[in-house]
Amino acid sequence: MKKAGLLEIPKRGCFRITDRGKELLGENPKHINVKLLNRYEEFVSFKSAHKLKTEEKLQEEVDSFGTPEEALEYGYQKINESLSEDILTNVKSCSPEFFERLVIDLLVKMGYGGSRKEAGEVLGKSGDAGVDGIIKEDKLGLDVIYVQAKRWDNTVGRPEIQKFAGALLGQKARKGIFITTSNYSPDAIEYAQNIESKIILIDGKRLAELMIEYSLGVSSLATYEIKRIDSDYFIEE
């Protein structure tokens, strides 16, 4: 929002809304996301400059490799890193309701929850503290997994994981998935690793990687097939 001229930073750690920001609030927008920010020329210019700078840096790094195969592999990794950043930016700009649907879609694509309809009927309907919903572990529903999803910018600490673990205990549940757009403190990670219940922590970086792996919110731009010589073909009998 700062790049779009909606906020200004008069001093470190202090944010102030600008006249443009007040004008936007006067329109009572439902969401302030990337699509809305694209109306401002400064924001569009910032995105374009950032993309160009990233591409130039990538080209310099790729050129430093010895073989085309190494350069291609390195370039592929860097492209995915940049894509992950773009994914998280878009996810954080969306509404909590959209994030909930995103979590459902991702878990279904990963093989959990049965159908999309069945997953949507259960996630988000649990009223227990520390639990957002329940999803089937497999298509037959032989076991269930409790899910907590937080669209946060701040680090998730140990108290949040303890609260989730307590909710699992109250449900006599053994498995849970905690998903956030931010990251976890070392204490939170250590706690999750040492309790009896199995709690998987998915941070923003891993969330973006899974969305890329399972093609959620992304589309294929190009496909390259690498071939090598077939030595057996050239053997004369």
- The answer on 116 and 56 residing in a single domain is no
- Would you give per-residue pLDDT tens digits along the chain (237 residues)? 777 788 887 776 677 888 888 888 888 887 777 778 888 888 787 777 666 666 666 666 656 666 777 778 888 888 899 999 999 999 988 888 888 889 888 998 898 877 777 776 566 554 445 567 788 887 777 788 889 988 888 999 999 999 999 988 888 888 999 999 999 999 999 999 999 889 999 999 999 999 999 999 999 988 888 888 988 888 887
- Which of 93, 126, 156 finishes a domain? 93
- Cα dihedral 10→2→55→74 (10° resolution): 80
Query: Domain range for residue 186?
Result: 96-213
Closest-CA residue to 185 (of 221, 165, 161, 167): 161
- The answer on 11 and 111 residing in a single domain is no
> Cα(86)–Cα(40) distance, rounded to whole angstroms?
18
- Which of 93, 128, 161 finishes a domain? 93
- Residue 71: how many CB atoms within 10 A of its CB? 16
- The answer on 140 and 84 residing in a single domain is no
The reply to whether 108 falls in a domain is yes
- The answer on 153 and 115 residing in a single domain is yes
The two beta strands, 14-17 and 7-11, are antiparallel
